[in-house]
Amino acid sequence: MKTRAAVLGAMGAARPYATSRPLRIEEVDLAPPGPGEVLIRIAAAGLCHSDLSVINGDRPRPMPMALGHEASAVVVETGAGVADLHAGDHVVVVFMPSCGHCLPCAEGRPALCEPGAAANGAGTLLSGARRISHVGHAINHHLGCSVFAEHAVVSRHSLVRIDRDLPLVEAALFGCAVLTGVGAVINTARVPTGASVAVVGLGGVGLAALLGAHAAGARQIVAIDLSEDKLAHARKLGATHTVNASLPDAREQVRALSGGGVEYAFEFAGSVRALELAYCITARGGTTVTAGLPPASAMLPVPAVSLVAEERTLKGSYIGTCVPARDIPRYLSLWRQGRLPVDQLLSGTLRLDQINEAFDQLHEGKAIRQVVVFDPAP
């Protein structure tokens, strides 16, 4: 079948993207779903810094690539062997497919699925296949998803079914922003009720983590960012204190507010400077968690003795250490109860042909979560 998709031909385009237009809206050929795969119609797809990191070259991927990894969708057709999804089912797309058989999957850590990671790095589906092409040339899949498109073919292991009455625009955010941010708080750090928390970097994932800390019952939530607008928004979402990271005494302010440092600090900016700040504002005996994705060449200088002498913990978190089939329904339930107001993360909606301008907004820090909304099926 033919479908329209946003295709990145090469990384490292000059900004502004509204002028250089690195993402081309192409009519591509989409092959039918193979065994264990599903054809989906995309309802809504969120713009994330992980997409931007491919566009600017910070996260190298094979080119050309159809981008997009956070979405909600409707099942159109299933391939052989898919018996638990049917046409018309609503789903959330997850950017790390889990095979269910490798050692990390067997240990209950699907975010570290080895075949899934290999496929994502190669630009294929979990099966090793590529289902997108343009004028006879294969196009790589972005994290097994490629959801900046009207339709996509994905692995069954990249989908979680959701209730049909859930709004699909908001549901799209549960595939990345919510899984990563809330999961970092709940699963990776296991923040207990009454703890003190700091969140560095208030994009969609960082603000989702703030919502997660609030839902977990943190007594103190310090929100830290360079943008006064985002700091004001963080206060509306439950931050007890805010600090502008550009201030020369930002570190000292946080340590003073928290009585010597917070028990749990989270970094979502994808910057070594942000991670250094998060580590420095963590109390003795505390935990620093990072889910940011800086360039692969970036190195973190850490006083090694502090890990021992202060019993520090420094942890990475990928997809919030989540089990998507377990956690997406749980987080959706919290949303229904009003305890996880994910709709407050939405900056606005746009058409697919406005995507380059939207990535300029994201790069400039003027947006939290923008969502491409596709026309409903006739």
Which helix (DSSP H) or strand (DSSP E) does residue 25 occupy? strand 23-30
Q: Is residue 356 within 8 Å of residue 21, measured between CB atoms?
A: yes
How many angstroms separate the CA atoms of 89 and 328, rounded?
16
Note the pLDDT of residue 295. 85
Q: The whole model's pTM is what?
A: 0.95
Note the pLDDT of residue 297. 87
Q: Is the pLDDT of residue 377 over 60?
A: no
Q: Is the pLDDT of residue 144 over 90?
A: yes
Q: Is residue 176 within 8 Å of residue 95, measured between CB atoms?
A: yes
Strands 137-141 and 37-46: unpaired
Peptide bond into 16 cis (omega under 30): yes
Note the pLDDT of residue 378. 45
The tens digit of pLDDT for each residue in 239-296 reads: 999 999 999 999 999 999 999 999 999 999 999 999 999 999 999 999 999 999 888 8
Structure tokens at 123: 């630009």
Which of 81, 263, 284, 292 lies closest to 189 in space, CA to CA? 263
